[in-house]
Amino acid sequence: MRSELVTTQRGFQAKAISGTHVILIALNCPNALREGLKGFSFEREIVGPGSTGPKFLRSQKVFRSIVPDPKNARDPNDPTKPQAFYTDRFPVQSFLWSDYSASPGTTYRFRILPRFGDPAALRTDPNDEIRLEVTTEQEWEPGQTHGVWFNRGAIASQKFSEEFGNKPPQNINNPTDPTVTWLSRGLLEACLAYINETQPGDALRVAAYEFTYPPILNALKALIDRGIDVQIVYHDTKGSNGQDGPNEIAMNDAGIPVNDQTNTFQRSNTKIPHNKFIVRLKGGTDPVEVWTGSTNFTASGFLGQTNVGHRIADAETAQQYLALWEVLKPDPDLETARNELAELTPNPAEAINVNSAVRVFSPRASSEMLGWYGRRMLNAANSVWFTAAFGIGKDLVQPIAARRNQMRFILMEKPVPQAQKKTLTADFNRVILSYGVPLGEIYQIRNGRVTTRRRIEDFELDRWFFQEEHFRPKNDGFVFFVHTKFLLIDPLSDDPLVCSGSANFSSNSLLQNDENMLLVRGNTRVADIYMTEFDRIFRHFYFRNIANELAGSESSDEAVSIFLDETDGWSERYFQPGTLKFNRRLMFFEEPAGTWSTNAVAGDQETVAKPVRKKRSAKKTPVRRATKKRTRRTRRRN
């Protein structure tokens, strides 16, 4: 949901955007009002049942003149606890702030106070007070078309340690365990609810890459035992000697037959059978909805990695996913799969229909979809928000890096090679990169590879996550913290484009793997959830990287991380033209010229109008069919 723009008498402005668990508030003011501005205090209250009255929210920094040693400050009412600080006395010194503790389907009232004066006696002109209300989105309710769930995952290791002590999750196979529900934040619950809602006479069709998490397998087995038609295409993880791999072991443990060609069908003839979707068939024949997204059916998928689950109740979409499942069921070779899926989901139009959802399935005969994604980036009128878990392919470097007025936020699993970073950030005041790192660990990077790891502080949640087969100890890369695969084009607009699914934005993903992607246009509810969660993850990792660097540096100034500026100098970077924070502030308030869709249509017409040059014919390269051996060798890549 989006609040109306609120403007005070003197010109302070605010607008709020809420997802399901996150509320983002952007602030603005005339340049003249910066004089003496010490920051913003945030007061929040729930409107309606459950309200306990307004409360000022927590502050992460303090004024040094008031609290010279915040790390050792103790709660005056309970000296055994650290002292908590609040924004009434220690304001937020930023024009962008997010509340990550919101609950779905709840109305919140905010009072935001611009603070002036001496740090020990802050004041606010009553004419400057900003008041706004915003309601968070429901996760799912009857009649909705889309449901979107993001987990907390292992990126929240510091907060997890505060909540439960510095220890790993207690019982990862128990969906009701408090540590599990906290890490899942509704993602596991939503997937289990989707499965358990299956009625007698209905049917499910499952496509699974990593298929080892007992709560999911047990829920599917319970349906089979009730006589419900459940059929599963799963990744064949057996070894070269025929020994059972992780999927087969988990299926046997759950009592699910292995490759019996009735309930289960192994998938071998592909590089990576990377799908993770479930189609519901009403009455056993009519496809009505789909569960999809980036979440593998593993403990790490639901509790460790940053992941998303996307439920879509749309018959046309479900029909195509069922057709995809039917293509995969007989375990086709690469050429057969490419031919059938090219017919099932051809490349989309440059601007897909308004208020529509379009499917893109892989493997495909060409990687032209990378060009499509790149053109949508270039078409953006306001901003691009992109997760590139396994690096940025060469086809997307220039669409990201090209100098223009639009902001670009890029979230990656690990830093790119220095040369590529230089290219990507040439437009340095409009491109910002963030990447997944463990809190309390510093890396040295050479040519995009980790050469040295140095621990600063141990968090048991991170340690558990490393043990879940997602830590690459040979320094080949990082942990799989960032596992989401989505692209947002102009999510702040009334006509956003959301691209989300299982597929990484790479040629291998398009050409070799079993994958699925959803392209959703014009749904602001979906865009708001994805955008606010992106903001949470992006800024969390950005903070982690800075915190690690400060903690690991012998010469770092700790004041940068824990103390507020006691002057109004903090706001200068938000009003200095040509800086990143200046451009980000205006991104929320300036009306862009045109839209991504009008730009896409104009670009398509321009391309059509140009004469096509005749290309010299090239020799055809025979298509190499994937083998089981190749599958096993690469199965842990994603």
Instruction: State whether residue 75 is helix, strand or coil.
Output: strand
Q: State residue 221's pLDDT score.
A: 98
Which residue is it, tokens 């928000």? 385
Instruction: State whether residue 309 is helix, strand or coil.
Output: strand
Structure tokens at 613: 């040059």
Burial class (CB in 10 A: 0-12, 13-18, 19+), 82: middle
CB 305 within 8 A of CB 593: no
**Which long-range contacts does 430-433 make (Cβ < 8 Å, 24+ apart)?**
430/403, 430/404, 430/405, 430/406, 430/580, 430/583, 431/400, 431/401, 431/407, 432/407, 432/408, 432/542, 432/580
| Host H or E run for residue 376 | helix 368-379
Q: State residue 614's pLDDT score.
A: 40
CA distance 81 to 552: 26
CA distance 492 to 584: 12
Q: Which strands make up the sheet holding 37-46, listed edge to edge? A: 55-56, 37-46, 107-116, 130-135
Tell me the average confidence (pLDDT) per consecutive run of 10 residues in the chain, 638 residues long.
96 98 98 97 95 94 95 92 95 96 96 98 97 97 94 80 84 95 97 98 98 98 98 96 96 98 97 97 98 96 94 98 98 98 97 97 97 98 91 92 96 84 94 72 53 52 56 43 92 98 94 98 98 93 63 52 92 96 97 94 62 41 40 41
- Same CATH fold, 146-544 and 6-138+573-587? no
Q: State residue 562's pLDDT score.
A: 83
CA distance 212 to 191: 15
Q: In the chain, what are the domain boundaries?
A: 6-138+573-587, 146-544
Query: Nearest CA to 485 among 169, 176, 150?
Result: 150
Q: State residue 379's pLDDT score.
A: 98
Backbone angles phi, psi at 124, to 5 degrees: -135, 130
Q: What class is the 146-544 domain? A: alpha beta
Q: State residue 469's pLDDT score.
A: 44
Pairing state between β 407-412 and 431-435:
parallel
Q: State residue 435's pLDDT score.
A: 78
**CATH number for the domain whose boundaries are 6-138+573-587:** 2.60.40.10
Instruction: State whether residue 208 is helix, strand or coil.
Output: strand
CA distance 238 to 317: 32
CA quadruple 94, 102, 111, 83: dihedral, nearest 10: -70
pTM, entire model: 0.90
Q: Which residues are bridge partners to 2 per DSSP?
A: 17
Amino acid letter, 579 = T
- Those residues whose C-beta lies under 8 Å from the C-beta of residue 354, and which sit 6 or more positions away, are 495, 521, 522, 597
Structure tokens at 215: 């709560």
Q: State residue 467's pLDDT score.
A: 58
Structure tokens at 493: 């607009």
CA distance 340 to 363: 10
Q: State residue 445's pLDDT score.
A: 53
Q: Count other C-beta atoms under 10 Å from residue 72's C-beta.
A: 9
Which residue is it, tokens 């375990």? 331
* Cis geometry, peptide bond prior to residue 363 (ω within 30 degrees of 0): yes
| Host H or E run for residue 80 | strand 78-82
Amino acid letter, 319 = Q
From residue 437, give the alpha-carbon distance in Å to each of 26, 183, 225, 441, 552.
27, 17, 43, 7, 14
CB 485 within 8 A of CB 150: no
From residue 28, give the alpha-carbon distance in Å to each of 58, 117, 261, 612.
21, 19, 61, 48
CA distance 349 to 360: 12
DSSP characters for 566-624?
SSSGGGGGGTSTTSHHHHHHHHTTSPPSS-HHHHHHHHHHHHHHSPPPPPPP-PPPPPP
Pairing state between β 286-293 and 6-7:
unpaired
Q: State residue 337's pLDDT score.
A: 98
Helix 394-401 vs helix 368-379: crossing angle, to nearest 10: 10
Which residue is it, tokens 């934005």? 505
Q: State residue 198's pLDDT score.
A: 98
